[in-house]
Structure 1
């Protein structure tokens, strides 16, 4: 259902609301398609992801906003990554051209709630990387995340502590604005903001993965 503009809403804001709504619908359609291709019912996906059946039903219809943690659970249950799911939603963006050129202005891009802040997908499904901007973060460590694609982190503002579980054991790095960190796909990782969490701004760039197989895609 198209977003109805609120009286007095600037045209630019209305356009962004419509794009966000279209991308949520596309995201839900991708999750539904992958679920059916894997022969799963909504109930089975709910059990595998530890999420409620009604929530998943609304998500597949584009009627609710998922969070990054819930997308991670869904992605693991479907054998893909949360970034791949987010990138698939960009297909609904009319600015994605056949040449796979994508310009994302400040405030644009599908925003997804994250613990302590927001995440914003900046890439597209045609590209070999999935860049995600994180604004705000929790000040306590949460659960570990892992995915098949290698990942690069760049701290734009604030300070962050990144906790990695490597083959040599647990490694913790403290990063400030201008610092970066890279690690192999499959490395369990988590991060937390140090100091003022509102200043926290991080760019995470992950190798694109095939939403069907979860394997790294070669560059075109």
Structure 2
């Protein structure tokens, strides 16, 4: 297994363990859903070989790939990251849990949970997108509805065939069933908050 960009040799073993754990979780959830490898790959718009490789704990899957698999399984991507429940309703800024796989290449973006767990009717996520972040190659499609507000920087939000430029303070709401993707084409880091219902991250 090659070391992912930005991951040191010391961190590589942890990455290997993480990918193996994610793969085992994907296999378990797929079997619980009664899906074949082919059916999950079709739902996630991925190749059968890629899904099979992940289930065997091989390779360096991108965060976008994990999102597609989670949506194919109809579960929040946090389920693949083994996000545990917490008894407190408060999420401290210093204790946010990341759901971008901690070192697996993730499209120049960091996702942190603002809600304490995945059990509620909605989920809020803090998103930090670095310049160059672009998910056009893997548009998101899932159940529910979402709203986002840009706190800093400028973010291009594409919903279906329409593109919107959101600057600091701007917000947008749309149906998550419409293919959507995001791009930071500026020179500043974008900070934004996204809320989705039901939880999809």
TM-score (norm 1): 0.63
Where structure 1 has 5 or more consecutive residues not aligned to the other structure, the ranges are 1-17, 212-220
**CA–CA distance in structure 2, aligned partners of residues 102 and 26 of structure 1:** 25
- What does 1:151-166 correspond to in 2, within 5 Å? 151-165=146-160
How many Å apart are 1:155 and its aligned residue? 1.1
Distance 2:159 2:31 in 1: 34
Aligned to 1:206: 196
Q: CA RMSD in A?
A: 3.7
Say if 1:188 and 1:41 are closer, same or farther in 2 by CA, change over 3 A.
closer
SS in 1 for 2:78: helix
* Greater gyration radius: 1
What is the alpha-carbon distance in structure 1 between the residues aligned to residue 175 and residue 39 of structure 2? 31
Contact 1:42 1:57 in 2 (8 A): no
Of 151, 165, 183, 2:174 maps to 183
Tell me which residue corresponds to 1:135. Answer: 129
What are the ranges of 5 or more consecutive residues in structure 2 without an aligned counterpart? 1-13
Number of matched pairs: 180
Report the counterpart of residue 89 of structure 1 in structure 2: 81
1:75 paired with 2:70, answer yes
In the alignment, the residues of structure 1 paired with residue 166 and residue 87 of structure 2 have an alpha-carbon distance, to the nearest angstrom, of: 38
Q: Which residue of structure 1 aligns with residue 118 of structure 2?
A: 125
**1:150 matched to which residue of 2?**
145
Are the equivalent residues in 2 in contact too, given 1:121–1:130 (CA < 8 A)?
no
